[in-house]
Amino acid sequence: MLSQNADEKMKSDAASIKVTPLTRTFGVVVHDIDLSEIRSDVEFPQLRALFEEHSALLFPGQNLSDAQHLHLAEMFGPIEDRMADSRKPGEKAGVSPVSNETGDGGVTDEMDMHTLHLKANQLWHIDSTFMPTPALCNILTAKVVTDAGGETELASTRAAWAIMPETLKQRIRGKVLGHNYTRSREMISKELAQQSMFNKWPPQRWPAVWANPVNGAEALYIASHVYKVEGLEQAEGEALIEELVAFCTQPQFTYSHAWKVGDVLLWDQRAVMHRGMPWPYDQPRTLTSVCCSLADADGLDAARAATLG
């Protein structure tokens, strides 16, 4: 954890940026900042302090190019690359389209495997809990939006944990959860879950509760990728995860973002679940995403150590 002086300085720096609440319990809207001109030694430390304090940041009306999107993400941490095993030597990861567009002016069919994959993202989840190094944050921006639907929803597991009844907390505190990619995909389609993309990584084990290393705030680390709660029978574990997700996704802990082209939304994967919402699948919809990987300073080493106890 940072020293008290360093933590106070981060909060003081962040206070110089104009923000308004995103919800009553978490998140802020950041005003009067052009993300294409962010400097790592000037504005970014202030944004990082807001990120640690509020868990979710919304920047309306931006216009990030792919290169600017990646530049912003690199300030948060290493760019996650789920396709590293298929890249040519020296080839780097770019932005990831979250899209039903086919590139020839069409869209994928509603029952196409790719569309089913997008539908699986409509389950409450945290990105990359199924990977050896999970994500710190996701930075999303809108390129093509639909007439209706297609919102991205957030749920603060930090805000929920803070007021969760102690009896429920005690049922999950200290538990280790098993995560894999196939778990969430098989909820949508058994055929989808069998695709190689969803079977690249062995199951991962992560503690159910993480503490933010900057401010000590605890949050639940649960997702649709959870396939077991260690120490509990399968049915009991599934019921507990379902109960926890239901608690964390009550209206007072959630935010639904209706996209406008250019909006940028980013959130702390250690403290926030998210999901996409359906839209008319005959309409094109494209967001671009960059996930940044966790580093030891973000709590990764502590999380790994917690699974050894």
Token pair of 134 as six digits: 């999970």
- Which has the higher per-residue pLDDT, 268 or 11? 268
pLDDT digits (tens, 9 = 90+) for 137-161: 999 999 999 999 999 999 999 999 9
Predicted pLDDT at 90 = 82
Report which listed range, 39-43, 186-190, 209-213, is most confident: 209-213
Q: How far apart are CA 260 and CA 185, in angstroms?
A: 28
Nearest to 69 by CA among 123, 122, 157, 138: 138
Q: How far is C-alpha 113 from the geometric centre of its chain's CA atoms?
A: 22
The conformation of residue 101, written as its DSSP 8-state character, comes to B
Q: How far apart are CA 160 and CA 218, in angstroms?
A: 10
Token pair of 221 as six digits: 């680390």
Predicted pLDDT at 309 = 67
Predicted pLDDT at 4 = 56
- Which has the higher per-residue pLDDT, 162 or 13? 162
Cβ–Cβ contacts within 10 Å for residue 148, how many?
12
Sequence-separated (6 or more) residues with CB below 8 Å from residue 107: 100, 101, 281, 282, 283, 284
| Mean pLDDT, rounded, for 59-84 | 95
pLDDT band per the 50, 70, 90 thresholds, residue 85? confident
pLDDT over threshold 90, residue 13: no
pLDDT band per the 50, 70, 90 thresholds, residue 127? very high
Q: How far apart are CA 255 and CA 245, in angstroms?
A: 15
Q: How far apart are CA 121 and CA 191, in angstroms?
A: 16
Per mean pLDDT, which range of 56-70, 109-123, 141-155, 206-220 is the poorest? Answer: 109-123
What are the CA-CA distances from residue 149 to residues 109, 122, 145 (Å)? 17, 12, 9
SS3 110: coil
| Mean pLDDT, rounded, for 221-228 | 96
Q: How far apart are CA 132 and CA 128, in angstroms?
A: 8
- At the fourth CATH level, the homologous superfamily of domain 4-306 is Clavaminate synthase-like (3.60.130.10)
AA identity, residue 82: R
pLDDT over threshold 70, residue 8: no
The pTM of the full predicted model, rounded to 2 decimals, is 0.92
The conformation of residue 78, written as its DSSP 8-state character, comes to P
Q: How far apart are CA 249 and CA 26, in angstroms?
A: 13
Nearest to 275 by CA among 162, 305, 267, 283: 267
What are the CA-CA distances from residue 117 to residues 5, 144, 198 (Å)? 45, 19, 10
Sequence-separated (6 or more) residues with CB below 8 Å from residue 159: 25, 26, 252, 253
Token pair of 156 as six digits: 């603060």
SS3 179: strand
